Amino acid sequence: MSQWKLIRSSSWNQAIPDPDPTGRWLHLIIDAESSANVLSQTVLEDLSQRLDQVPEFAGVEALIISSAKNGHFIAGADVKAIGSAKNVDQVNDACRSAQDLFGRLSRLSIPSIAVIHGTCLGGGLELSLGCTARIAIEDPRTRIGLPEVNLGIIPGFGGTVRMTRLLGLRGALGWILPASRLPAKVAHRKGVVDASVPVEGFRTLSLQLIEKMVADRFRKVKAQRKKRRKGLISYFLDQTALGRSIVCRQATKSVRARTLGHMPAPERAIEVARLSAHLSEKMALVEEAKAVSRLATGPVCRNLVSIFQDSERVRRGVEGQPEGVWPDAKQLIVLGAGVMGSGVATMAIEKSISTRLRDISEDAIDQGLKKIGDAVDSRRKKRRITTYQQAEILSRLSHGKELVGLERCGGVLEAVVERLDVKRSVLAEIAPLLAKNAIFATNTSALSVTAIQKDSPVADRVVGLHFFNPVPKMPLVEVIPGEFTDPQVVGIALSLARKLGKYPVIVKDSPGFLVNRLLLPYLDAASRLLLKGLSGSHIDEVARAHGLPMGPFRLMDEVGLDIGVEVQETLHSAFGDRAASSPILLKMVQKGWLGKKSGIGFYHHRGKSSTWNRQLDPMVQASPSTLPPAQIISSLLDPMVDEAARCLEEKVVADAGLLDLAMVMGTGYPPHLGGPLRAADAEGLSAIEKRLRAAHESGAARSPCNLLVDLASRNERFHTHS
- The one segment of 64-72, 386-394, 473-481, 490-498 that binds other proteins by CB under 8 A: 386-394
- Smallest CA-to-CA distance from 445 within 673, 720, 667 is with 667
Q: Which residues pair with 144 in a beta bridge?
A: 120, 182
Q: Nearest distance from residue 141's CB to other proteins, in Å?
A: 21
Q: Nearest distance from residue 403's CB to other proteins, in Å?
A: 10
C-alpha–C-alpha distance, residues 266 and 176, integer Å? 8
State which residue, 305 or 372, has the beta carbon closest to other proteins: 372
Q: Nearest distance from residue 326's CB to other proteins, in Å?
A: 17
Question: Strand pairing of 462-467 and 439-442?
Answer: parallel
C-alpha–C-alpha distance, residues 640 and 660, integer Å? 12
Neighbours of 280 (CB within 10 A): 10
C-alpha–C-alpha distance, residues 652 and 646, integer Å? 9
Q: Nearest distance from residue 190's CB to other proteins, in Å?
A: 29
Q: Nearest distance from residue 359's CB to other proteins, in Å?
A: 12
Among 198, 400, 549, 592, binds other proteins (CB under 8 A): 400
Indicate the length of the chain as a whole number.
Answer: 722
* SS3 of residue 190 by DSSP: coil
State which residue, 193 or 376, has the beta carbon closest to other proteins: 376
C-alpha–C-alpha distance, residues 477 and 494, integer Å? 9
Helical residues (DSSP H) of 198-260, grouped into ranges: 202-215, 219-228, 232-239, 241-259
The single-letter DSSP state of residue 433 is: T
Q: Nearest distance from residue 431's CB to other proteins, in Å?
A: 17
* Cβ 508 vs Cβ 479: under 8 Å: no
- The one segment of 52-60, 206-214, 266-274, 388-396 that binds other proteins by CB under 8 A: 388-396
Decide if residue 22 touches other proteins (CB under 8 A). Answer: no
Decide if residue 355 touches other proteins (CB under 8 A). Answer: no
- The one segment of 101-109, 376-384, 656-664, 679-687 that binds other proteins by CB under 8 A: 376-384
Among 65, 214, 376, 529, binds other proteins (CB under 8 A): 376
In the stretch 307-346, what mask flags binding to other proteins with x, by CB under 8 A? ------------------------x---------------
State which residue, 387 or 609, has the beta carbon closest to other proteins: 387
State which residue, 349 or 526, has the beta carbon closest to other proteins: 349
Decide if residue 404 touches other proteins (CB under 8 A). Answer: yes
C-alpha–C-alpha distance, residues 470 and 487, integer Å? 28
Residues in CB range of 224: below 8 A, 6 or more apart: 194
Decide if residue 392 touches other proteins (CB under 8 A). Answer: yes
Q: CA 445: distance to chain centroid?
A: 22
Decide if residue 429 touches other proteins (CB under 8 A). Answer: no
State which residue, 371 or 517, has the beta carbon closest to other proteins: 371
Among 42, 180, 390, 581, binds other proteins (CB under 8 A): 390
Residues 659-698 that bind other proteins (CB under 8 A): none
- The one segment of 2-10, 12-20, 239-247, 375-383 that binds other proteins by CB under 8 A: 375-383
Among 88, 166, 199, 394, binds other proteins (CB under 8 A): 394
Among 22, 387, 590, 715, binds other proteins (CB under 8 A): 387
State which residue, 109 or 395, has the beta carbon closest to other proteins: 395
- The one segment of 292-300, 354-362, 449-457, 614-622 that binds other proteins by CB under 8 A: 354-362
* Cβ 358 vs Cβ 403: under 8 Å: yes
C-alpha–C-alpha distance, residues 48 and 127, integer Å? 12
Q: Nearest distance from residue 122's CB to other proteins, in Å?
A: 37
Q: Nearest distance from residue 411's CB to other proteins, in Å?
A: 15
* Cβ 689 vs Cβ 704: under 8 Å: yes
Decide if residue 377 touches other proteins (CB under 8 A). Answer: yes
C-alpha–C-alpha distance, residues 313 and 301, integer Å? 18
- The one segment of 175-183, 396-404, 512-520, 625-633 that binds other proteins by CB under 8 A: 396-404
Decide if residue 365 touches other proteins (CB under 8 A). Answer: yes
The single-letter DSSP state of residue 255 is: H
Q: What are the catalytic residues?
A: 445, 466, 478, 516
In the stretch 143-172, what mask flags binding to other proteins with x, by CB under 8 A? ------------------------------
Decide if residue 373 touches other proteins (CB under 8 A). Answer: yes
State which residue, 137 or 471, has the beta carbon closest to other proteins: 471
Decide if residue 366 touches other proteins (CB under 8 A). Answer: yes
- The one segment of 32-40, 207-215, 385-393, 601-609 that binds other proteins by CB under 8 A: 385-393
Among 28, 177, 369, 430, binds other proteins (CB under 8 A): 369
State which residue, 405 or 657, has the beta carbon closest to other proteins: 405
C-alpha–C-alpha distance, residues 670 and 244, integer Å? 31
* Cβ 177 vs Cβ 116: under 8 Å: no
C-alpha–C-alpha distance, residues 284 and 269, integer Å? 12
Count Cα neighbours of 719 within 13 Å in the Cβ-side half-sphere.
Answer: 23
C-alpha–C-alpha distance, residues 691 and 638, integer Å? 8
- Smallest CA-to-CA distance from 568 within 606, 526, 604, 602 is with 526
- The one segment of 30-38, 86-94, 185-193, 368-376 that binds other proteins by CB under 8 A: 368-376
C-alpha–C-alpha distance, residues 439 and 479, integer Å? 13
State which residue, 393 or 415, has the beta carbon closest to other proteins: 393
List, as one string, the DSSP characters of 334-351.
Answer: EE--SHHHHHHHHHHHHT
Decide if residue 380 touches other proteins (CB under 8 A). Answer: yes
Question: Strand pairing of 603-606 and 609-612?
Answer: antiparallel
Among 18, 52, 323, 407, binds other proteins (CB under 8 A): 407
* Cβ 314 vs Cβ 505: under 8 Å: yes
Decide if residue 224 touches other proteins (CB under 8 A). Answer: no
Among 9, 132, 354, 448, binds other proteins (CB under 8 A): 354
Among 111, 322, 405, 668, binds other proteins (CB under 8 A): 405
Question: Strand pairing of 397-400 and 355-358?
Answer: parallel
C-alpha–C-alpha distance, residues 443 and 348, integer Å? 15
Q: Nearest distance from residue 372's CB to other proteins, in Å?
A: 6
- Measured over the CA atoms of residue 577, residue 579, residue 582 and residue 588, the dihedral's sign is negative
C-alpha–C-alpha distance, residues 40 and 63, integer Å? 22
Q: What is the dihedral of CA 629, 635, 640, 643, to 10 degrees?
A: 160
- The one segment of 273-281, 358-366, 590-598, 706-714 that binds other proteins by CB under 8 A: 358-366
φ and ψ of 248, to 5 deg: -65, -40
Decide if residue 391 touches other proteins (CB under 8 A). Answer: yes
Decide if residue 200 touches other proteins (CB under 8 A). Answer: no
Among 117, 170, 396, 554, binds other proteins (CB under 8 A): 396
Q: Nearest distance from residue 394's CB to other proteins, in Å?
A: 5
State which residue, 211 or 362, has the beta carbon closest to other proteins: 362
- Smallest CA-to-CA distance from 303 within 641, 663, 651, 630 is with 663
Q: Nearest distance from residue 370's CB to other proteins, in Å?
A: 5
* SS3 of residue 176 by DSSP: helix
List, as one string, the DSSP characters of 30-82.
Answer: E--SSSS-EE-HHHHHHHHHHHHHGGGSTT--EEEEEESSTTEEE-EE-HHHH
User: Residue numbers of the site for other proteins (CB under 8 A)?
Assistant: 331, 354, 356, 362, 365-366, 369-370, 372-374, 376-377, 380, 387, 390-392, 394-400, 402, 404-405, 407-408
